[in-house]
Structure 1
Amino acid sequence: MLDIADELHRWCERGLPFAVATVVGTSGSAPRPAGAALAVDGAGNVIGSVSGGCVEGAVYDLCQEALSGDGPATVLQRFGYSDEDAFAVGLTCGGDIDILVQRIDPAERPEVAGGLAAAVSRETAAVARIVTGPDDLLGRALLVRADGSYEGSFGDDLRDRTAAAETVAMLAAGRTGTLVIGADGSRCGVPLTVLVESSVPPPRLLVFGAIDFAAALVRAGTFLGYRVTVCDARPVFATARRFPDAHEVVADWPHRYLDAETRAGRLDGRTAICVLTHDAKFDIPLLEQALRLPVAYVGAMGSRRTHLERLDRLREAGLTDLDLARLHSPIGLDLGARTPEETAVSIAAEIIAHRHGGTGRPLTGAHTPIHHDTTAVRAS
């Protein structure tokens, strides 16, 4: 739902009721992840997508029924591939998809309206909704803040506190997905499945080394939704004119800038660090810090010989084999890349694969899942 927050927030500001269909569970080759949404207003206008086209018509009808009162205001519907008729309402690409359709009246759902407002302003907050469980609980929502405070209710204080605590853990990682808690608020018993949709500031991509390869990587990172910073100790190269797609360009020693950002608390478990400097006096002190940080990805450009020499220097600086195992070097996937743009694709692909647990192998002839499901969490 938060993926279409801009338009939904405008509807809320106007007090318009709408129906929103949200992907809450997938299996097989379902095309959209949990949290993807389609919404319909009272005039029949539609935004978003839940399946890339396979079941949009049927979902639209469910939304219309929820708005008009001809159907339930909240309903969970499963769609899957139909062997009998490939043109039946189902996922022609295979797999199954569970969709929660819910009528939202902004004045009666302030926690949902608040979550949409937070997403639009890029605040850190999450909307948690019950998506499987007793009918009287289906669709109930909490708006959870990073400090653990929350608005709304699941109908029970202990249930609310448990769900809020588990939601905060997912929010801290910037994750959208499902978790399971006990219906009585304990961490066992009859299960409730809760969809957590996290709204967090965009992840950061720190590119060290103001070179032509960096310019291409900046464009790729921006396209992928990262907030991109370029840093280089040489002011003549680290200029906004050379990197117009970067959100910021910093002229400073890389390790000094990284230390300042760490101390300021502006890095997190989603941050990607790419070292393209090709110079030991920059690389070594920078990597010595970066490989000790709880960030998502650290990669460094260079030949295999440079990589081996770099490992020796880092060991001399006190890094362990466990620390060094986190280093992606030579950086990127083996695409046979030559140009800066091709190299940027190679690096971006490795970051994506690392984030989602992908193998980087061709899907043709592979027997691995197309979509890696890492969203379901059992409270423990």
Structure 2
Amino acid sequence: MMREELAQRASELRRSRTPFVHATVVRAQHPTSAHAGDSALVHADGSIEGFVGGTCAETSVRAQALQVLVSGEPLLLRIRPGEESEAVVDEQGAVTVANPCLSGGTLEIFLEPHRPAPRVVVVGSTPVARALAALGGPLGLHVELTDGGAIRVDPEDAGMIVASHGRGEEPALEAALRVAVPYVALVASKTRGGAVLAGLDVSAADRARVHSPAGLDLGARTAGEIALSILAEMITERAATVRTPEQPVPLTSVDPVCGMTVAVSDSTLSTSYGEAQVYFCCEHCRTSFLAEPARFTA
């Protein structure tokens, strides 16, 4: 895959809010098949588009990239030949792993996670709704405006803010509460908000989760100030709440031939043996295992 094609593919993934890790070779000590500037995209399922080395190097990149996708933190990965041992983290945070399959050479690869910005659904086309959309982007949020007619709510959304002034409020609030969106707010006066909440077909506990009047008490008057107070309240709630990571912690297995730790994914080489699935770092190890399985399972 050419560099321009890879860049276009990365743009497509960002537009579709699909998480991935951009892996770039920043240093290659020969002999190695990769060169500085080579890059690849590592997906959440472990599949790799692009090139950062042969299958041996890919195995190390895949295992570390899946961890980076969970943590959300970039990482400089050094891959050197040698018997596998525990990954070593230096003072600057770079991680060095030994790969028993490498024939020689050392690679340094920068792993940069790209995770979609937290999505906030805003219902309405009012000045407050538009101000929320304008302020959300600079705060690292993906604000999606909807009129409530074709609302799409996901439990991983960061928030649902209903600012429609009486239009479709109940269905939107109920949809957000049913899937446990962490921050749910209704822009309304205390009196009108109370009446809307009383009519919701939800439990008392869920009803109590709705912030109405919405926003911190900042003395806000204009649409922009109200939007700012709402986003400040949502950010405060998010900071105080620990949520399960969007990406599951990646599973690993040990290649029985070379002893290397590999990521368990659909794209990892494997074979069935008895009632177990056995995973390998490369085709050579898989072939060796299939030739003498008893030797490696004793």
- Are 1:166 and 2:67 an aligned pair? yes
User: For 1:340, which of 223, 243, 252 is the aligned residue?
Assistant: 223
CA distance in 1, matches of 2:190, 2:76: 45
Shift of 1:286: 1.9
In the alignment, does 2:179 pair up with 1:290?
A: no
Q: Is the 8 A contact 2:21 2:114 kept in 1?
A: yes
Asked if the contact 2:125–2:145 (Cα under 8 Å) also holds between the matched residues in 1, the reply is no
Task: Indicate yes or no: 2:94 matched with 1:198.
Answer: no
- 1:144 to 2:144 alignment: no
**Aligned counterparts of 1:325 and 1:313: Cα–Cα separation in 2:** 13
Q: Measure the CA separation in 2 of the matches of 1:160 and 1:118.
A: 19
Given residue 168 of structure 2, which amino acid in structure 1 is its aligned partner?
F
Root-mean-square deviation over aligned CA pairs = 4.9
Aligned to 1:61: none
Task: State the partner residue of 2:232.
Answer: 349
Deviation readout 1:110-129 (Å, 9 max, x if unpaired): 5xx66543444435353355
CA–CA separation in structure 2 for the residues paired with 1:272 and 1:128: 28
CA distance in 1, matches of 2:162, 2:146: 10
Deviations 1:38-76 (A, max 9, x none): xxxxxxxxxxxxxxxxxxxxxxxxxxxxxxxxxxxxxxx
One-letter amino acid matched to 1:127: V
1:208 equivalent among 115, 118, 123: 123
CA distance in 1, matches of 2:249, 2:216: 33
Aligned pairs, number: 215
**Gapped runs of 5+ residues in structure 2?**
90-94, 97-109, 252-298
Of 9, 17, 21 in structure 2, the residue corresponding to residue 127 of structure 1 is 21
Cα distance in structure 2, aligned partners of 1:311 and 1:187 = 58
- Contact 1:125–1:146, Cα closer than 8 Å, also in 2: yes
Residue 102 of structure 1 corresponds to: none
TM-score after normalising by structure 1: 0.42
Distance in 2 of aligned mates of 1:141 and 1:274: 40
- The answer to whether 1:117 aligns with 2:8 is yes
Q: Which has the larger radius of gyration?
A: 2
CA distance in structure 2 between the aligned counterparts of 1:319 and 1:187, rounded to whole angstroms: 53
Give 2:186's aligned residue: 300
State the identity as a percent.
31
- The Cα of 1:197 is off from its aligned counterpart by 2.4
* 2:21–2:69 contact (8 Å) kept in structure 1: no
Aligned to 1:257: 150
Contact 1:179 1:379 in 2 (8 A): no
The SS at the match of 1:229 is strand
> Match for 1:226: what amino acid?
H
Residue 218 of structure 1 is matched in structure 2 by 133
Residue by residue, what CA displacement relative to the aligned partner does 1:214-271 show, whole Å, maximum 9, x if unpaired?
333333345556353241xxxxxxxxxxxxxxxxxxxxxx3x522xx35xxxx57245
CA distance 1:187–1:115, change in 2 (3 Å):
farther
SS state of the match for residue 286, structure 1? helix
Does 2:203 match 1:319? yes
Tell me, what secondary structure is at the counterpart of 2:171?
helix
Alpha-carbon distance in 1 for matches of 2:77, 2:208: 35
Distance apart, 1:206 and its partner CA: 3.0
Superposed CA deviations along residues 324-380 of structure 1, whole A, max 9, x for unmatched, are: 56533321222110111211221233344445x279xxxxxxxxxxxxxx9xx9978
Determine if contact 1:207/1:275 at 8 Å carries over to the other structure: yes
